Amino acid sequence: MVETKKVLFIGPSGTGKSTIKNVFFEMVCPLKLLKNTLDPTRGINSSIYSFFELDLGVFDLAGQENEDWFSKDSDIFIIR
């Protein structure tokens, strides 16, 4: 039976969320990304990767659209 898990990259704009996704899941060379930076993510960029008996949904959220959310103090984050 295939198990399904999700990974969300959430954070302020320009902090490397898309870069991490590209290096670890798309196998893009980090040196290439230093020379050619990525365009900002708009909305949500989602992909599904299959590893053995695991389907992994990866969601890269745009930081610009969440700036208000990140600029406020937060006391609780729920990670499950």
Instruction: Write the pLDDT tens digit of every residue in 68-78.
Output: 655 566 555 55
CATH number, domain containing residue 64:
3.40.50.300
Residue span of the structural domain in which 25 resides: 3-71
Strand 44-51 versus strand 54-61 pairing type: antiparallel
Distances (CA, A) of 51 to 2, 54, 55, 56: 10, 5, 6, 8
Instruction: Write the pLDDT tens digit of every residue in 21-55.
Output: 999 999 999 999 988 888 888 888 899 999 899 99
Tokens of 34: 């230093």
In a domain, 79, yes or no: no
> Number of structural domains, the chain?
1
In a domain, 76, yes or no: no
Q: What is the pTM of this model?
A: 0.74
